[in-house]
Amino acid sequence: MQRATLEDVATLAGVSIKTVSRVVNREPNVSLSTMERVSKAIKSLNYQPNLSARNLASQRSHLIALVYDDPSTYQMASAGYILEMQEGALRACKNNHYDLLIHPCNYRSDNIKQELLSLVQQVRPDGIILAAPISGKSGVVKSLLATEIPIMLLSPGKKFSGSYSIATNDLEISSTMTLYLASIGHESIAFVAGNSSHRAVSNRLLGYKKALETLQRPLVKNFVFQGDNSVGSGEEAARNLLGLKSPPTAIFAANDDMAIGVMRQARILGLTIPDDLSIAGFDDITLARLVSPTLTTVRQPLAAMAERAAELIMDEKLRRECPELQIVPAELQIRESTRNPN
Amino acid sequence: MQRATLEDVATLAGVSIKTVSRVVNREPNVSLSTMERVSKAIKSLNYQPNLSARNLASQRSHLIALVYDDPSTYQMASAGYILEMQEGALRACKNNHYDLLIHPCNYRSDNIKQELLSLVQQVRPDGIILAAPISGKSGVVKSLLATEIPIMLLSPGKKFSGSYSIATNDLEISSTMTLYLASIGHESIAFVAGNSSHRAVSNRLLGYKKALETLQRPLVKNFVFQGDNSVGSGEEAARNLLGLKSPPTAIFAANDDMAIGVMRQARILGLTIPDDLSIAGFDDITLARLVSPTLTTVRQPLAAMAERAAELIMDEKLRRECPELQIVPAELQIRESTRNPN
DNA sequence: GTGAAAGCGCTAACAC
DNA sequence: GTGTTAGCGCTTTCAC
């Protein structure tokens, strides 16, 4: 199939290629009649602009690169996350005739910087979206900033001026979850903290603490268990917290994996969820809806965040008008694993 | 950051751009000494070829498009599949300096044909991988064939000459699974058939039948329940099959969702899995390893299939030498949900 | 309102 | 071995 070019269209419509280009790009200064003539020619030849040619001439690729930690190195636990981000980014792309290029890369790899630099310089995406935890790697972000394409950081560990950060209100929503547990009658609420290397995760502990302050309750040291984000550490937390002489009636874990560990261990200890113990998590992983009882948790609007990121890349005006840090609020997902105590 | 061009490198190395081009593309006819000089210049300028320019000139984009049914329309049940395909395709891409562009689209949409045609004509990927069930849509495949880029079909419903198909041995492996169940002592094995619109799924029923022939057992009509690939139809199948006056001791479902439905319903009926009933599925979805007991199933090597597809796109020679239909064998995943009866 | 001409950075075909 | 010359199909600048 021979694809039509601007010139073919121009010849057929009896105008210059520039005029056709104007019509294609919806630029002003075309009379209605010629526009119609050109439109007809475009349709009859089934003309489609060649992206490469357009990119070469205009220095835009109509491509967005989405970069995240390679799930295969993580045993696909993060499948839901990744698809959600892809979905959000794609939604924005489809509305704007952009395409999405995905580029998982190993967080731990040393040459990730070089790898992304190559990606940017060769493919020349119009912007790049970095998902956590890569969005927190200073070296990577900094070297990318030098390429002068818009850098979007999803839930970054820190702020990098020159780039845009899109994050959730981890602290506030964690506070809200804690307050929710209190509101349904829990007097003693424990917290399983996560690996503090991710800034977002440590903010969750701060949210828990803030809620206690709001409630004018003391922070009981024994009620905060330091986990490491793994299911195993959730189990350990449960053994520890439920072994206290006055155990909590609710446990809020900084991520779903740990919450599921808590759930599993609580059941081994003979407790019924949520009758004997309420459990809440954070992240809303796929499994959260599949365990029984289903897990009360916090849902990060990852799709919305990625969509926003993509929109900002595609719209320079929007970008200039918005702050470098934007918050997309998370939401409580109240399910079966929490209810009033006793 | 100003990116270097071939010309910059040529100037610095004191050669023509063609020579630099030769070095970059590892073409022959460059003396060792000039090659070294050029290499040095490339490094010092951190030269990276501009893909758009290369594409425009050479008619290759170093881009592969992966097209699949949009998971958001399916509630993300297929998350595992998609990531596996992406992973496989990406693995091949990384080895060859290609990039991957993903393009989910709604299977049911009417203008999917036009949408993919636009994708191909605008982005000009060097090839396109169509996942099932889109790989079975005649109209789509045919119109894509006209674009003359390599079309790779993953587990297609039919064969389309001119395109390449990469499939698993659904029939044989289903037979193998049935034989396996027989081999551990099951005398009566029921089958839950899936929606026959997908050719692969109906092949599974044929495999079951073939195994019965091999075993010289009669095909009991009541032992084949027609489901629709959903968990709900699995539950229905269980109610039906286990309500028979001589119920089967093993149930093999044509996909994991239905197997999980069977499992759920069997438990409601008071049966213990696998003591009272063995259950096997097909697909090895993420959930298969998460349910308890873990589900015996068949694993399609989706990553390997996608990888192979990508390799064929990137290597024309390979493509010419291989048959249009290639089989990548599936594997039994024996887990906890099957054991000897009684 | 419209068009001519000059590139964007690269590859291809052909000299030398 | 190496260089020269045309483009690839589009946008951009500027003239009309």
**Predicted confidence (pLDDT) per residue in B1-60, tens digit:** 567 899 889 989 989 898 998 888 888 788 888 889 999 999 988 888 888 898 888 888
Q: Which residue, counting CA atoms, is nearest to the C1' of nucleotide D11?
A: A57
Interchain CB distance below 8 Å, A124 and B51: yes
Angstroms from A50 CA to nearest CA on chain B: 5
Contact call for residues A194 and A133 (beta carbons, < 8 A): no
More confident residue, A286 or B24: B24
Q: Which of B78, B68, B236 is nearest to B137 (CA)?
A: B68
Q: Which of A238-242, B95-99, B233-237, B249-253 has the lowest mean pLDDT?
A: B95-99
Is the model's pLDDT at A213 over the cut of 90? Answer: yes
pLDDT (0 to 100) of residue B122: 85
CB contact under 8 A, B61 and A72: no
Find the residue in A nearest to B2 (Cα). A147
Per CB-CB distance under 8 Å, the chain A contacts of B71 are: 83, 87
Q: Which of chain A's residues have a Cβ under 8 Å away from the Cβ of B86?
A: 102, 104
Q: Which of A1, A50, A52, A93 to mutate to test the interface with B (most CBs of B within 10 A)?
A: A52
- Residue of A76, A86, A90 lying closest to B286 (CB–CB): A76
Judge whether residue B273 has pLDDT over 90.
yes
Query: Which window residues (223-242, chain A) lie with Cβ within 7 Å of strand D?
Result: none
Burial state string for B145-180 with b = 16 or more CB within 10 A and e = fewer than 16: bebebbbbbbbbbeebeebbbbbbbbbbbbbbbbbb
pLDDT tens profile A117-140 = 889 888 889 999 999 889 989 999
State residue B197's pLDDT score: 66
> Is A268 within 8 Å of chain B by CB?
no
Q: Which nucleotides of C are covered by protein (CB under 7 A)?
A: 1-5, 7-13
Q: Is the pLDDT of residue B73 over 80?
A: no
Q: How far is A54 from chain B (nearest CA, A)?
A: 9
Give the tens place of pLDDT for each residue, A101-110: 999 999 888 8
Report pLDDT for A116: 93
Number of other CB atoms surrounding residue B6 within 10 Å: 19
Question: Hey, is B107 helix, strand or coil?
Answer: coil
- Please tell me if residue B226 touches chain A, with a CB cutoff of 8 Å: no
Q: Which of residues 124-163 of A touch B (CB under 8 A)?
A: 124, 146-148
Instruction: Give one word for B83, left, alpha or beta, with left for phi > 0 and alpha for psi -120 to 50.
Output: alpha
**B155 CA → D6 C1’, Å:** 44
pLDDT at A313: 93
User: CB under 8 Å to B106, separation ≥6 — which residues?
Assistant: B69, B70, B73, B112
Nucleotide whose C1' lies closest to the alpha carbon of residue A16? C3
Region of A151 on the Ramachandran plot (φ > 0 left; ψ -120 to 50 alpha; else beta): beta
- Residue A59 Ramachandran class (φ > 0 left, ψ -120 to 50 alpha, else beta): left
Q: Does A71 reach chain B within 8 Å, measured CB to CB?
A: yes
How far apart are the C-alpha atoms of A128 and B284, rounded to whole Å?
Answer: 33
> What letter represents residue A341's amino acid?
P
> Average pLDDT for residues A194-200, to the nearest whole number?
73
Integer angstrom CA distances of residue B299 from B69, B233, B281, B334? 20, 21, 10, 10
CB B11 within 7 Å, strand C = no
Q: Which tokens sit at B163?
A: 């395109």
Q: What share of chain B is helix, strand, coil (3-state, %, to 5)?
A: 50, 15, 35
Pick from A6, A9, A51 the residue to mutate for testing the B interface (most B CBs within 10 Å). Answer: A51
- Structure confidence by residue, pLDDT tens digits, B134-159: 999 999 999 999 888 999 999 887 88
Query: Residue A51 — pLDDT band, cuts 50, 70, 90?
Result: confident
* CB neighbour class for A72 (10 Å; exposed up to 12, middle 13-18, buried from 19): middle
Cβ of A76 within 8 Å of Cβ of B63? The answer is no
* B268 close contact with A: CB closer than 8 A: no
Element holding A226 (H helix, E strand): strand A224-226
For the ranges A230-244, B193-207, B321-335, the lowest mean pLDDT is seen at B193-207
- The minimal CB distance from B51 to the residues A48, A86, A122 is found for A122
Query: Among residues A246, A238, A250, A245, which one has the least CA distance to residue A276?
Result: A250
Å between CA of A117 and C1' of D3: 31
- Cβ–Cβ below 8 Å for B83 and A80: no
Q: Chain B residues with CB inside 8 Å of A52's CB? A: 51-53, 55-56, 61, 124
Q: How far is B48 from chain A (nearest CA, A)?
A: 6
Is A101 within 8 Å of B103 when comparing Cβ atoms?
Answer: no
Q: Please tell me if residue A244 touches chain B, with a CB cutoff of 8 Å.
A: no
On whether any CB of chain A is under 8 Å from the CB of B316, the answer is no
B268 C-beta less than 7 Å away from strand C: no
| Residue A130 identity | L
Min CA distance, B189 vs chain A (Å)? Answer: 28
Q: How many CB atoms lie within 10 A of CB B185?
A: 13
CB B101 within 8 A of CB B123: yes
What one-letter code names the amino acid at B18? K
Grade residue A2 by pLDDT with cuts at 50, 70 and 90. low
List C-alpha distances in Å: B158 to A85, B104, B137, B145.
Answer: 33, 21, 9, 15
Name the one residue in this structure whose structure tokens are 């906890």: B336
pLDDT averaged over every residue in chain B: 91
A51 touches B: beta carbon within 8 Å: yes
Asked if B34 CB < 7 A from strand D, the reply is yes
Q: Is the Cβ atom of B57 within 7 Å of strand D at any atom? A: yes
